[in-house]
Amino acid sequence: MEIALIGIGKIALDQHVPAIAASPDWELAATVSRAGTVEGTPAFTDFDELLVTRPDIRVISLCLPPVPRFDYASKALAAGRHVMLEKPPGATLAECHALTELAKQNGVSLYATWHSREADKVADAKAWLASRVLRSLTVTWKEDVRRWHPGQDWIFEAGGLGVFDPGINALSIVTEILREEIHVRDATLVFPENRQAPIAAEVAFHHPQAQVQATLDFRQEGEQTWSIEAVTDTGTLLLTHGGARMFIDGVEQGASQDGLSGEYPRLYAKMAALVQRGGLDMDLRPMTHVADAFLLGRRETTAPFHF
């Protein structure tokens, strides 16, 4: 199937383009970007022009920041195109619900992707936890925004999510592996005094019998930390490296995977299957937790942040 990639920035070039190139399901037929291009691929700077001149491209993958994404997604859906959304699927929950209804009205597929759910050991962690009683779950998600989002000021603007841009990856894993539903009960959000989105956060969740909490920080230097520890009645599970490695009571399970290995290829395989069978995949639970953290969170101010 032919697909168009919209927004040719770091994540598109690092992950989407290689995943599409390696896939037996997809051919990258066009790109839309103000500046970025992919060698050998027809490049547009205007999305409306793409929709009008390339009706043969039936699938659109959106890699734009969350705030402008709704306008592009709604145009694509209204034009009868299937749409794949980079995380988070929108700037607000209301936008995501509106896109869902628009996809239904036009009989096309819509996929809210959560790439961290496709990390190598997430499915194994879910299976291991399924038969155990959770006592506590602790998320520690600390990374260097300068390394992963160099110069991307949008991430600290209103709607950019700040530290929840990576933090939502952790929440996508937690909502996938836990048997029980959770919801935010308390949060503290740390805002640089010159920014509109938090650079760090502490979030506590309600769970039927366990203590569940998350520590998120965009100021981590040196080694990056993306871990989830689950203490149960019969042992302790630890996911590290964003879900790529898993330990049970300190013993690593299976071969380790590096970084985002396999995550985006699995997303594109799922999108191909979704388009072929029809339907929607719009799990908004991770985004609901972020929205609730903003609603409930106490605001603290810290020193200005500059890239």
Q: Which residues are catalytic?
A: 87
Contact yes or no for 204/212 (Cβ under 8 A): yes
Separation of alpha carbons 2 and 59, rounded Å = 7
Task: Tell me the β-bridge partners of 42.
Answer: none
Separation of alpha carbons 139 and 228, rounded Å = 5
| Six token digits for residue 127 | 């299976």
Query: What DSSP character marks residue 55?
Result: T
Query: What DSSP character marks residue 115?
Result: G
- Which residue from 271, 190, 200 is spatially nearest to 4, judged by alpha carbons? 271
Distances in Å between the Cα of 125 and the Cα atoms of 6, 107, 132, 172, 272 are 33, 35, 11, 13, 25
Separation of alpha carbons 22 and 19, rounded Å = 5
Helix extents (H) in the chain: 10-11, 17-22, 47-53, 66-78, 93-106, 122-129, 145-148, 164-177, 263-277, 285-296
Separation of alpha carbons 161 and 92, rounded Å = 10
Q: Strand, helix or coil at 178?
A: coil
| Residue 13 burial (C-beta neighbours within 10 Å; 0-12, 13-18, 19+) | middle
Separation of alpha carbons 25 and 20, rounded Å = 8
